[in-house]
Amino acid sequence: MSGGAVALSAPIAAAELAGGDETVILAIRPSAWFILIGLLPAVPVAALAVVALLVMSVAEDVPWDTAQAVAAGAVILGVRGAWQAYDWFGRAYVLTDRRIIVRAGIVTHTAACTLSEVAALGDATRWGERWVRCGSIGVMRGAPRVRRRSWRAARDAVGTARAGREGAHGTDSRRPPRVWADRSLEWTCVARPEEVRQTILAAVARYR
């Protein structure tokens, strides 16, 4: 297993997620490390369960022994690993000339936004991902670019008018368009994250 195990050009679910009039630029799954990294939080839980069962097994009337206690911990890890594997198999990250699309979840759901709504990309990399040279890319989502430009133009116009009347720069009392981190659009645990990030930024700059 390696951080670059999933090719950037892998055509994962692109046809069913992208519209017929869209051009697919990038379609990938998370790195296979997604499974192991997602399994890590279950390790201390399984360990505590084993320790608790071992402590209770000291009593003569407890119907399990050491081997069964260890097996219980293995079952916990196995269930969590299977859950992660199923989640990995169903995930797809697709970039087209119009949208960013993410399919994720055990009960699969799809989230998408137009490139004009992408305000910025954030670094959502978790500590375990850095060890295997993977990373997560967060999408900062906001009003379409046309609306943001309109707000800035209105703000500048108000400032200019106030400066002319009062001899000082003014500010627009209206709030700027809201920008937020949309977790449903996060590209989690991707291989070669900087390359993926630059591909998305180039598409946003070109097509929005």
Taking the C-alpha atoms of 21, 27, 29 and 30 in order, what is their torsion angle to the nearest 10 degrees?
A: -120
Those residues whose C-beta lies under 8 Å from the C-beta of residue 50, and which sit 6 or more positions away, are 69, 70, 72, 73
Asked whether residue 12 carries a pLDDT value surpassing 70, the answer given is no
pLDDT in tens, 148-187: 455 455 555 555 555 445 444 444 445 656 788 899 999 9
Asked whether residue 78 carries a pLDDT value surpassing 90, the answer given is yes
At residue 203, the pLDDT reads 94
| 159 against 31, higher pLDDT | 31
pLDDT in tens, 82-97: 999 999 998 999 999 9
Asked whether residue 71 carries a pLDDT value surpassing 60, the answer given is yes
As a whole number of angstroms, the distance between CA 83 and CA 105 comes to 10
Q: CA nearest 88: which of 110, 108, 65, 64?
A: 108
| 144 against 20, higher pLDDT | 20
At residue 9, the pLDDT reads 43
